[in-house]
Amino acid sequence: MSNNWPPYPPDNETELERALRLEEEREAKRVSDEIDRGLERERQNLRKKKIQTTILLLGQAESGKSTLLKNFQLQYTPEAFRAESDAWRTVIQLNLVRSVNVVLGLLTRTTAGAAPPSQRLSQSKDDLRWLKMRLAPLRQVELIYNKLLGVDIDPDFGGMAKPDEQEWDSGKLSEVSLRSNFGWQTLVGSNKERPGSRFWDELDNAQRILAACREDILAMCENPTVQDTLKEQGIALLDEPGFFFDQADRIATIPYEPTPEDILRARLRTVGVEEHRLVMESPPMEKGREWVFYDVGGDRGQRATWAPYFDDVNAIMFLCPMSGFDQVLSEDRAVNRLIDSMKLWKIICTSKLLENATFILFLNKCDILKSKLESGVRFCDHIEQYKSQPNDYENVTSYIKKIFLAIHKDHSPKKRKVHVHTTCATDTEMMSTVLNSIRDVILLNVLETTNLIA
Ligand SMILES: Nc1nc2c(ncn2[C@@H]2O[C@H](COP(=O)(O)OP(=O)(O)OP(=O)(O)O)[C@@H](O)[C@H]2O)c(=O)[nH]1
Ligand SMILES: [Mg+2]
C-alpha cells in the first residue's frame, strides 16, 4: 500500500470516476486542514497559558505574603508600584493614626488605678494628660479615614470604629490593620486628578488635622510614661506591623510622600483571594510577559478559600514568620504561631494538586527573630522540642529549616526539590537578590513544562 496522498490516478479512469475522486480529495484536504488549524489554535493556547507565570502566595496571617508581592512589584513593575503610592499614603497615615489611638487607649487603662508615680513620672503624666486632650481629634480622623477607605468594621477584630475602647495586649496588636477591600482605585493616582468632591474635601481635612497634631504625636512617642508602659507590656513597637512612630515626623505632614520602605512596612490585611496581574517592565528579556499572583488572606477563617487556586499554578511561595515562635494566633489564642505555620506547610506539601509546582519556602521575619533572641527571649520556652540547644540566631534558624525540610520530604506526593530562603521582606536589597534567583528557578520550570507540550 502506498503512503502517498493523494494517490496517483488509476490509468483507465473515466470522467465520472475522476470527478468523484477529485471531490473526495478536496473533502479529505478540507478535513485535514481543519484539524491542523485546531491543533495550532490549541498549541497557541497552551503556549499562551504557559508563558503566563502563575504564583500562589501562601502562609498564615501577617507572614509577609503581601509584602513579598510588593517587593516583586517594586523590582519588576516599578511604574505600576509608583502609581499606587498615593493610595499607600492614606493607608500609612491611617496605620499611624490607629497606632496613636491604640496607645492612648492602652495608657488610659494601664495608668488608671496604678501605684503613685515617681517624681520623674509625675511630670510626664501631667504632660501626657495634656497631650491626650490635644490628640483627641485623631479619633475623629481615624473615623474619617475608615469611612473614606471603606474599612470593614469587624467586631471580632477589636471594634475598629471605637479606638478608645480597644483591648490592647500582645496577641491583639495585629488588629492595628486595615482590610484591603476598599476603593483602592479611587486613591491610585489621586494627586494628579482630584475632581472637587466631598470625598477629597474630607480626606484633605483629615490630613490637615493629622499634620496639626504632628508635634504632639512626636511628644507622645518620646514621653517617658508612654515608653515605660510599652516596655512593661513587652511591646517593641519596631517589631509590630503598621507602627510608624519612628517615622511620625515625616508621615504626619501634608506633603508626605511614602518611600518604598514605608510602603513595605504598611499593614493592610488581605481579605479573600486577590488576583494581581503584573506586566513585567524589566529585565528586558522579560518585558511584557505577564506574571499572575494570587495573594490570599492568611487567617484561619480564610483558608478554605485557597483550594480552588491550587489548580494550574507554576509555583507556590510559602511564608513562615520565624519570629512567631513566642506568639499565638489572634484567631485562636491556644495555638502557637510557629506550630500553626508548620501544620499549614504540611497540608500544602501533601496536596496532590500542587505536586508539579515549584516550591519556594521563605523563612521570613529573620530580623525580628534575631532581635528577639538577642534580647533574651528563649526559643525553648515556647518550642519544647528544642530543649537545651543554643539560643542563637544561627542554631534556631537551622532548626526551623530542618523541620520544614523534613515535613516536605515526608509528606510530598512525589520527590521534589524545595528552594528555601531566609528573608526579611521589608529589606529591599536582600529581597532583590532573592527574587532574582527565584525568578530564574520559576522560569526554568515554566520553560520545561512548555517544551514538554510543544
Ligand atoms: N520587620 C519585618 N516586618 C515584616 C517582614 N515581613 C513582613 N513584615 C511586616 O509584617 C506586616 C504583615 O505583612 P503582610 O505582608 O501584610 O502579611 P500577609 O501575610 O499578607 O497577611 P494577611 O494579608 O493578613 O494574610 C506588614 O506590616 C509588613 O511590613 C519582615 O521580614 N520583617
Ligand atoms: Mg496580605
Closest residue by Cα to residue 243 from 226, 133, 108: 226
**121-128 contacts: CB < 8 A, separation 24 or more?**
121/224, 121/225, 121/228, 124/223, 124/224, 124/225, 125/225, 127/219, 127/223, 128/220, 128/223, 128/225, 128/226
Regarding the beta carbon of 64 and ligand 1, being less than 6 Å apart is answered: yes
Are residue 305 and residue 344 in the same domain, yes or no? yes
The predicted pLDDT at position 156 comes to 47
Rounded to the nearest angstrom, the distance between the alpha carbon of 269 and the centre of ligand 2 is: 5
pLDDT digits 0-9 by tens, 343-375 = 999 999 999 999 999 999 999 999 999 999 999
Residue 424 belongs to domain spanning: 54-77+280-443
The predicted pLDDT at position 174 comes to 45
Q: How far apart, in Å, are the Cα atoms of 11 and each of 3, 24, 33? A: 19, 18, 28
Beta strands in 59-147 (DSSP E): none
* Other beta carbons within 10 Å of 288: 8
Are residue 238 and residue 347 in the same domain, yes or no? no
**pTM: predicted TM-score of the whole model, two decimal places:** 0.83
Are residue 70 and residue 168 in the same domain, yes or no? no
* Other beta carbons within 10 Å of 402: 10
Point out the residues of the chain with pLDDT beneath 70: 1-8, 38-51, 110-123, 152-186, 188-196, 237-239, 450-454
Q: Which atom of ligand 1 is nearest to the CA of 268?
A: 16
Has 262 been labeled as part of a binding site? no
Angle between helices 119-135 and 224-232 (to 10 degrees): 100
Distance of CA 243 to the CA centre of its chain: 17
Give the sign of the dihedral formed by CA 207, CA 209, CA 210, CA 214: positive
Instruction: Note whether residue 2 is domain-resident.
Output: no
Closest residue by Cα to residue 176 from 229, 235, 254, 242: 242
Regarding the beta carbon of 241 and ligand 1, being less than 6 Å apart is answered: yes
Q: Which amino acid is at 8?
A: Y
Under 8 Å between Cβ of 290 and 279: yes
Residue position matching grid coordinates 502557637: 336
Q: Which amino acid is at 350?
A: T
Are residue 240 and residue 346 in the same domain, yes or no? no
C-alpha triplet 147, 149, 150: angle, nearest 5°: 65
Task: Tell which one of 55, 364, 426 to mutate to probe ligand 1, the residue whose CB is within 8 A of the most ligand atoms.
Answer: 426
The predicted pLDDT at position 169 comes to 46
Please report, for the domain that includes residue 353, its CATH number. 3.40.50.300
Task: Tell which one of 55, 66, 73 to mutate to probe ligand 1, the residue whose CB is within 8 A of the most ligand atoms.
Answer: 66
Q: Domain tally for the chain?
A: 2
Are residue 62 and residue 90 in the same domain, yes or no? no
Are residue 174 and residue 316 in the same domain, yes or no? no
**Domain end point (choices 265, 290, 325):** 265
Are residue 110 and residue 59 in the same domain, yes or no? no
Instruction: Note whether residue 349 is domain-resident.
Output: yes
Instruction: Note whether residue 220 is domain-resident.
Output: yes
| Residues flanking ion ligand 2, Cβ below 5 Å | 65-66, 270
The predicted pLDDT at position 2 comes to 43
**Domain end point (choices 237, 265, 293):** 265
Are residue 306 and residue 173 in the same domain, yes or no? no
Has 239 been labeled as part of a binding site? no
d(CA 282, CA 43): 27
Instruction: Note whether residue 418 is domain-resident.
Output: yes
Instruction: Note whether residue 5 is domain-resident.
Output: no
d(CA 226, CA 327): 23
| Shortest-distance Cα residue to atom 23 of ligand 1 | 270
